[in-house]
Amino acid sequence: MLQPFNHLAGRDAVSSARDTLKRFRSGFFILLLVTVVSLAWQHYGMDRVVEINGLNVNAVVNDDRLDEGASVARLERDGPVLRMHCNLVRQMAYPYCLLRLPLGTDTRGMDLTRFDQITLDVAYSGAGAHQVRLNMEDFEPGLSIPGKYPTNKHVAVELFTVPDHITRITVPFNLFYIAEWWKAKFKVPFEKTGLRYDNVVAIQLANGGDMVPGPYVLTLKALRFHGKWISMTQLLAVLVALWIAWPLTVAARMRRELSTSKAQLKLLQELNKALELEARELAGQVQVDNLTRVLNREGLRAFLMESASKGAGPMAVIFTDIDHFKSVNDTHGHAVGDLVLRDFAQMMATTVRSTDRVVRWGGEEFLIVCMNTTGERAGLLAEKLRTGMHAHIWPAGMRVTASFGVAEHLPSEELGEVIKRADAELYAAKRSGRDRVHVHGVASGAKAADVMGRAA
């Protein structure tokens, strides 16, 4: 009598497993639909806009009299409209008037990391060119001093010309850079010079440094921050968690139901393997730069952690930057600029070895981590990339070059130090004429390729 009972129990287990599998398939398509809809909603909707104007901000004006200059600024309010009257006097090298829009207290401001662009309804009238400089002040503990706004990290954007009638101007966040005067004045350590706008306490609108003396009027109707309520990184993290948690829940239930069936246990193992591959693929998207499809900084961190667990020999770092990239955007537009960045990244990715990694460091800057490679060998690779750019066909028929800085990782040295040395070599290559390779430890008067060729 036991044999038929066992047979029925086996049939019940198989039937239960089939029901669970059907539910799994239904849940899979539902979760897939949720994923597609969420990604589409994030891309085409989910917009978040925060407006700043004279009605909701306590704006103030400053001028260069704080620095022994003679320019005079005066603020006029007209409902939401703010007007800065500036009599610009060239008593100092760079006279200025600025309109400051506080976004909070001296130490606690707005987190703008979920925004990707700023729009301004602005006008400028007066003699000469109407130029405006846009700054974001980020209060960063350890660097900024409460009440002394010049010590805040100044994230700036290049000058742009404003007409004499109210015009809407869009400034993407990827155009901002750390102000050089701020780094020089406060002797900021290299590791503290990264872009940061998670605690912006004020926005500044100031005149350009090359404007002729005389009276000017800057009119600001509104300033708006544009972004998404949920960033793509956050959405992908949630979706990855769902894709991991849901199948693991189903898998646990199937293990309990199919514990007496070896055949169904095998099916469960195959199913788990497929789900792990799917989850790994989604998790990998978080570590890849959306534009260039090479690693981002999160991907670099994961790669270095994996390499450290396996043990590694010598390592070299190549720091590279496209020469005069701003002129590409200014001349051909940001769409063509994006094509140049993608081409440059893919050219490097297809040239390096499979053990190396290309990382988008920020803007037009890239990092190449060369595992089990000396500085001289990495210099040869950098020279190959540099000459390869001359033969590459670039968008719009333009000529694109890049400069390269190379440094070898020293024993017991932190990664930030070797990156800092490679960055110093990159800037040395820039200063010596661009379209060059500088290798740490190679004499600046010799050709890097010849010196490294002897080592080969």
- Give the DSSP letter string of 69-99: ---EEEEEEETTEEEEEEEE--SSSS--EEE
Inter-CA distances, 140 with 153, 155, 197, 199, 201, Å = 7, 12, 9, 7, 10
Determine the pLDDT at residue 276: 58
Strands 131-138 and 315-322: unpaired
In what helix (H) or strand (E) does residue 451 lie, and over which residues does it extend? helix 448-455
> What is the residue-averaged pLDDT of the chain?
84
Helix (H) or strand (E) holding 246: helix 232-257
Q: What is the per-residue pLDDT for 159?
A: 67
> Phi then psi for 33, rounded to 5 degrees?
-65, -45
* Phi, psi torsion values for 357, nearest 5 degrees: -135, 135
Distances (CA, A) of 127 to 88, 124, 216: 10, 10, 7
Give me the half-sphere count of Cα atoms (radius 13 Å) on the Cβ side of residue 208.
17
Residues in the chain: 456
Helix (H) or strand (E) holding 257: helix 232-257
* pLDDT recorded at residue 9: 47
**pTM summary value:** 0.49
What's phi and psi for 276, nearest 5 deg?
Answer: -65, -40
- pLDDT at 33 (0 to 100): 84
Contact by Cβ (8 Å): 130, 162: yes
The sign one gets for the Cα dihedral 89, 94, 99, 104 is negative
Helix axes 2-44, 262-286, angle to 10 degrees: 10
pLDDT tens for each residue of 266-322: 554 654 564 455 545 545 557 899 999 999 989 888 888 887 767 667 899 999 999
pLDDT, position 445? 37
One-letter amino acid identity for 183?
A: K
Distance CA 121, CA 439 (A): 47
Given a contact cutoff of 8 angstroms between Cβ atoms, the answer to whether 403 and 323 are in contact is: yes
3-state secondary structure of 152: coil
- Which alpha helices (DSSP H) does 287-357 contain, by range? 297-310, 325-332, 334-351
pLDDT of residue 191: 85
Low-confidence spans in the chain with pLDDT less than 50: 1-9, 268, 271, 274-275, 279, 282, 444-456
